[in-house]
Amino acid sequence: MKDSDGSALATTPRITTVRIVYLARLREALGSSSEALAVVSEAAPAVSDVVATLRGRGGAWARELGAGRAVRFAVNQRLARNDTPVGEGDEVAVFPPVTGG
């Protein structure tokens, strides 16, 4: 992308701060019930950017949220998918498959 004088526009990463809520087994495995998380992304952020940020911590985060693990998400208390958008101040819940009833 170039602006009117022909020079390349630097891509400005955006920072979105969300509130993460961990539930059930994942709360125990990660040792946290909630936290504020700054997500850096090139484009409008989605759940996948939140997950990538958390995995980037390594250790239990990479292990518990790694590919192939059964992890579910909700954004503002509605079930979400990897491509669900997240915005400033949103509540993003991270939890295992549900086992009620």
Partner 1 sequence: MAVRVQVADFDAGAEIARLRAGDRGVGAVASFVGTVRADNDASQVDAMVLEHYAGMTEAVLSELETAARARFDVRDVLVVHRIGVLVPGDQIVLVVVTSAHRDAAFDACRYLMDFLKTEAPFWKKERTPAGERWVEARASDEAAAGRW
Binding site for partner 1 (CB under 8 A): 21, 23-25, 70, 74, 77-79, 93, 95-101
| Pick 13 or 100: Cβ nearer partner 1 | 100
Q: Which two tokens stand for residue 5?
A: 């004088």
| Pick 25 or 57: Cβ nearer partner 1 | 25
- The distance of closest approach from Cβ of residue 96 to partner 1 in the complex, given in angstroms and rounded to an integer, is 7
- The distance of closest approach from Cβ of residue 53 to partner 1 in the complex, given in angstroms and rounded to an integer, is 21
Q: Which two tokens stand for residue 99?
A: 């086992």
Which of helix, strand or coil describes residue 63? helix
Beta bridge mates, 18: 37
Distance CA 68, CA 2 (A): 40
